Amino acid sequence: MNTTPRRVAVVAANRIPFARANSTYAHASNQDMLTVTLDGLVDRASLHGERLGEVVGGAVLKHPRDRDLTRESVLGSRLAPETPAYDVQQACGTGLEAVVLVANKIALGQIDAGIACGVDTASDAPISLNDDLRGILLDLNRARSAGARLKALTRIRPGQIVPETPRNEEPRTGLSMGEHTARMALDWGVTREEQDDLAARSHRRLAAAYDRGFFDDLVSPYLGLERDQNLRPDSSPEKLAKLKPVFGARNGDGTMTAGNSTPLSDGASAVLLASEDWARERGLEVLAYVTQAQTAAVDHVHRGDGLLMAPVFAMPRMLDRAGIGLEDFDLYEIHEAFAAQVLCTLKAWADPVFCRERLDRDAPLGTIDPDRLNVNGGSLAAGHPFAATGGRIVGGLAKALHERGSGRGVISICAAGGQGVVAVLEKPEPTDT
């Protein structure tokens, strides 16, 4: 048995442009989007008919019929039908967690190559039967006599026509993610200006990356969309400043707007991971290596931790284990769920009090040079189909490191439920030839 972990290479990535919810992809299902995204990757890496070790993926908003969404998507794709697959679900951490799972199996030699993917649609949302009505119908199904059936049917009321829709709120606090983030913004004294600046920068950088062709081998057009629909290349802090606050606005001091929060989005992404030997045999270039990963969770329910602050805890645990500092990276990718979330994260890592009291460190974890952060845009500009964001970031960072020739990049993704995933990608200096 192989006991020495192998290096895990990011070999290729593909995604479809992200669309705003209830727009271009309104009638595309999760399975539609994931299948076409897998096929794009198959084309890009010449995987037609290939039996891969495993495909791992998931979606956050999922229909009951999609119980094996990833496997069904594989069957619909041009990968060999003998490619096994399974679903994972960790809210917005799904995409990156899938990468970690595939990478670990490759590292251990259990598989040689696999795809980590994710998809989400906020348009084709799983609306389900009213819970009361569902109970009645199940009782009806269980009833053995006509009388019992009639009795069950008499319980039906007009109000039960109202369906159950997926709610964007934390089950244990009843607060939406935006309201949770508004609390974090207040806790950390995040200003409207900081948030709008960050959002404008995200649009500017994503537009510039598209313009210079950075996404040519990362994004495949879909349903007529060639770039992310949410992207506003002419966005500016001045324009963003005109938007009305939508979260935390009760006291008139709200700072979070539709412009500095990610919109509900539809889209899918996929990343091909492999051992070095597997990539070499197929003549595929290694973009970067997955070298570290860490998950963490906070207690947003009782302790009052910021809901989206888990990456703040995950990062030092990973860095300490790897023996590297926060400032030892060439590129940083922090998922922009909300501009305020990124800013709270940066403030926490730089704050001596937080680092002392909550991270148990004698000195702040460190600061991040804004010129190295989300250099090719982030979720605020691209949009955020929940489970697809991890793949978008891993693919983008691997390519950016490959472009640089060498370097080290770190990814930080916050997730609902008070969770977070962080990971490191590295591209070593070329040794000889």
- Please say if 203 is a catalytic residue: no
Backbone phi, then psi, for 131, in 5-degree steps?
-65, -35
Q: Applying CB under 8 A, does 185 fall inside the site for another protein?
A: yes
**Rounded distance between C-alpha atoms, residue 93 and residue 272, angstroms:** 18
Q: Which of residues 349-388 bind another protein (CB under 8 A)?
A: 350-353, 355-357
The count of residues in the chain is 433
Q: Which of 211, 253, 328, 403 binds another protein (CB under 8 A)?
A: 253
3-state SS track over 130-187? CHHHHHHHHHHHHCCCHHHHHHHHCCCCHHHHCCECCCCECCCCCCEHHHHHHHHHHH
For the question of residue 384 being annotated catalytic, the response is: yes
95 vs 248, beta carbon nearer another protein = 248
Q: Write down the catalytic residue from 27, 48, 92, 117.
A: 92
Q: Which one of the spans 42-50, 116-124, 344-352, 416-424 is the region binding another protein (CB under 8 A)? A: 344-352
Using rule CB under 8 A, residue 191 touches another protein: yes
**Interface with another protein includes 347 (CB under 8 A)?**
yes
Task: Give the nearest distance from C-beta 339 to another protein in angstroms.
Answer: 13
Contact between 332 and 378 (Cβ < 8 Å): no
CB 193 to another protein: min, Å: 8
Q: Which stretch binds another protein (CB under 8 A): 167-175, 188-196, 207-215, 322-330?
A: 188-196
How many angstroms from the chain centroid is the CA of residue 192? 24
Give the Cα separation of 185 and 256 in Å (integer).
Answer: 9
Note whether 255 binds another protein by CB under 8 A: yes
Q: What is the DSSP letter of 99?
A: H
CA of 167: how far to CAs of 127, 128, 175, 302, 380, in Å? 10, 12, 10, 21, 21
Examine residue 189 and tell whether it contacts another protein (CB under 8 A): yes
Give the interface segment with another protein, choosing from 122-130, 309-317, 346-354, 382-390 (CB under 8 A): 346-354
Of 62-70, 187-195, 318-326, 410-418, the window that binds another protein (rule: CB under 8 A) is 187-195
User: Whole-angstrom Cα distance, residue 15 to residue 78?
Assistant: 16
Smallest separation, CB 350 to another protein (Å):
8
Task: Indicate if 344 belongs to the active site.
Answer: no
Min. distance of Cβ 190 from another protein in angstroms? Answer: 6
Rounded least distance, CB 186 to another protein, Å:
4
CA distance linking residue 335 with residue 153, whole number of Å: 49
The Cα–Cα gap between 342 and 354 comes to: 16
Q: Which of 203, 302, 384, 402 is catalytic?
A: 384
Q: Which two tokens stand for residue 352?
A: 């001596």
CA distance 271 to 218: 10
Q: How far is the CB of 210 from another protein (least distance, A)?
A: 33
* Cα gap 369→299, rounded to integer Å: 29
Q: How many residues bind another protein (CB under 8 A)?
A: 20
Answer whether 386's CB lies under 8 Å from 120's CB.
Answer: yes
Which residue among 20, 44, 180, 192 contacts another protein (CB under 8 A)? 192
Candidates 26-34, 208-216, 343-351, 385-393; binding stretch for another protein (CB under 8 A) = 343-351
The residue from 108, 129, 186, 223 that contacts another protein (CB under 8 A) is 186
CA distance 279 to 273: 9
Tokens of 75: 């069957």
Is the CA virtual torsion 386, 412, 204, 207 positive or negative? negative
In the complex, least distance from residue 262 CB atom to another protein, rounded to whole angstroms: 20
Task: Identify which range of 26-34, 171-179, 247-255, 425-433 contacts another protein by CB under 8 A.
Answer: 247-255
Query: Among 25, 188, 210, 349, which residue sits at the site for another protein (rule: CB under 8 A)?
Result: 188
Q: Please identify which residue in 139, 187, 276, 320 interacts with another protein, judged by CB under 8 A.
A: 187
Catalytic residue positions, numbered: 92, 384, 414
Q: Which residues bind another protein (CB under 8 A)?
A: 185-193, 251, 253, 255, 347, 350-353, 355-357
